[in-house]
Amino acid sequence: MIFNQLKRKIFLWKLRGDNYFCPVCENGFKTFLPGGPKRRPFALCPNCYSLERHRFLWLILQKLWSEDKIYRTGKMLHFAPEACLALNFKKTFEYISADIDPEVAMVSMDITDIKFPDDTFDAIVCNHVLEHIPEDRKAISELFRVMKKGGWGSLQVPMKGEKTFEDDSIVTPEARDKAFGQSDHVRLYGSDYYERLKDAGFTTHIYRKDDFFSDEENLRFSLAIENELVIVRK
């Protein structure tokens, strides 16, 4: 154990540098590492394991917090918790993590049947979950129900093109990988995803990467594959 920790410290020390900067853990590196199921180059922070989408979200949240646009304190519900973000959220929020798998979160919960009263949370983070959920509209309306009026949420999903593609006759992992981009996804969202969020009652606020970051920052934070993200409000 101690040997592994030491090995990791040496590994990180050797990677220290200025080419890349992770805003989530605030460390600079010579390089980022390949990451994601398809091993995208320069995707992963070697220290906190943030991916492009985590860094993009964290940078936008920091901007919104600095402008006092969204809550930075209060109750947060974090579904399928990403460890790199959880560490930071716990510093300011009264924090609860949830997942269907009791091993990875504080409470085990089905997202289509959330065991909290209406208007409980000031913030909800639920990234890359809905593309796994057959009844995603039910899940979105549950997230809306438990959010307080004035609250905010990050409900990131992978998106491609304009129209959402779903077909519940596609069930094998191989066929789902081919149709939806990953073997355990049940649809591939298009930009009409935002309509599903609005249908549940949320207002949507879209942040485009190019409006906030120069090409240089884009490379340095390695935000490459993410073009835009949505913050929902109730």
Other CB atoms within 10 A of residue 13 CB: 8
Q: Residue 131 in contact with residue 102, Cβ under 8 Å?
A: no
Among 15, 44, 47, 127, contact with Zn ion (rule: CB under 5 A):
47
22 contributes a contact to Zn ion by CB under 5 A: yes
50 contributes a contact to Zn ion by CB under 5 A: yes
Would you say 84 or 140 has its CB closer to Zn ion? 84
222 contributes a contact to Zn ion by CB under 5 A: no
- Within 13 Å of residue 6, how many CA atoms lie on the same side as its CB? 3
Among 19, 25, 212, 218, contact with Zn ion (rule: CB under 5 A):
25
Six token digits for residue 163:
């129209």
> What is the rounded distance in angstroms from the CA atom of residue 222 to the CA atom of residue 234?
31
Site string for Zn ion, 144-183 (x = CB under 5 A): ----------------------------------------
Which residues, 6+ apart, have CB-to-CB distance to 11 below 8 Å?
46
**Contact range with Zn ion by CB under 5 A, out of 8-16, 42-50, 102-110, 176-184:** 42-50
24 contributes a contact to Zn ion by CB under 5 A: yes
For residue 96, what is the DSSP state? Answer: E
Binding site for Zn ion (CB under 5 A): 22, 24-25, 45, 47-48, 50
